[in-house]
Amino acid sequence: MPAFRPRKANQGPRKPLVRSRRPDKTYVVRHETDLLSFVKEKLPGQSERNVRRIIANHQVAVGGAPVSLFSFRLYPEDEVTLAWEPIRKKKRKNLPIIYEDEHIIAIDKPSGLLSVASDKEKKSTAYRMMSDYLTMNDRSARLFVVHRLDEDTSGVLLFAKDRATQEKLQKHWNDIVTKRGYYAIVEGSMEKKEATLKDYLFEDKTNLMRVAHGPKGAKLAVTEYKTMAEKGGYSLLDVDIKTGRKNQIRVQLGHTGHFVVGDDKYGEPSDPLKRLGLHAYRLTLVSPEDGREIDLRSPMPGPFRQMFFGDGKEKARGRKDKGPKN
């Protein structure tokens, strides 16, 4: 990186401090530290003054979100990107906030949006947009990943706003979370209108989940479902997962011969919705701070309702969904 040269008065917006055609560089944090110290360590050839200018110029991102606070806290597994051009903030768009308090924030994630950054995409993610939303009013604000939804799955996505809350939720997830409800649209008519699926799953060499013949080298996945409606060779299911295995709904339902529609990873089902037929409609948890119940809900997507009910009203068998709670 070239040495920084101070601007003259009335010179206008600062130009990027680094100009290169080389790709941005991303580093994984190994121990808790602050942003300035971490960037100084990764740029040993730069003076502290120049490192400060690089950070202030929005050329550093954490989890894909630009950060300009020198004392910003970093924790193990955080990903810090040093960019060759200033990183613009991402405006929160089509990300309704379902619930927010001092410790957590939940959004209604649309299908087609990544929860967090991937090797191929670091900019357009729910994490990035919500991080930018929080830091607009408080540069020291942080967002922490608690769980994830697949890119093509829509619905309730929860983040923590401090490290302590994240650790409590992740370490005691099965005790804190009492309900994880999904709507799933699958091919065919279910032989059993409601059932509990128990399978051992393992991840193969292609990073896809498979049903194992036994428990060795695999983990138990438990999924309950009830048939809500059937129409035109498709079934709408109310699914409750008891374990949090990767892709468990898609894999277990597919293993019964009823693949989730629009699923291009498992099987070759039809795609009537032009999206994955999976929506996380409910996440109920006990607050790790005060023990009260927090019931987070997202309404059934319009295309799901239209496909089965036509009139836009959800007519589940004996069930009335009250929608999101604020």
Task: Give Cβ neighbours of residue 41 (< 8 Å, ≥ 6 apart).
Answer: none
From the CA atom positions of the chain, what is the Rg in Å?
Answer: 23
Q: Which residue has the tokens 């279910």?
A: 190
Largest separation between any pair of C-alpha atoms in the chain: 76
Q: Which residue has the tokens 């608690």?
A: 146
CA distances from 23 to 81, 83, 130 (A): 10, 8, 25
Beta strands 144-145 and 234-241, pairing class: unpaired
Instruction: Give yes or no for a contact between 268 and 286, defined as CB atoms under 8 angstroms apart.
Output: no
- Please tell me the number of Cα atoms within 13 Å of 231 on its side-chain side: 14
- Nearest C-alpha neighbor of 162 from the set 101, 244, 80: 101
The two tokens of residue 132 are 């930018």
Task: Give Cβ neighbours of residue 225 (< 8 Å, ≥ 6 apart).
Answer: 184, 190, 194, 195, 197, 237, 238, 239, 240, 253
Q: In which element (H, E) is residue 7 found? A: none
CA distances from 281 to 23, 182, 215 (A): 39, 5, 30
In whole angstroms, give the CA distance from residue 241 to residue 181. 7
The two tokens of residue 79 are 């990903």
Known catalytic residues are 150
Burial of residue 127 (number of CB atoms within 10 Å: 0-12, 13-18, 19+): buried
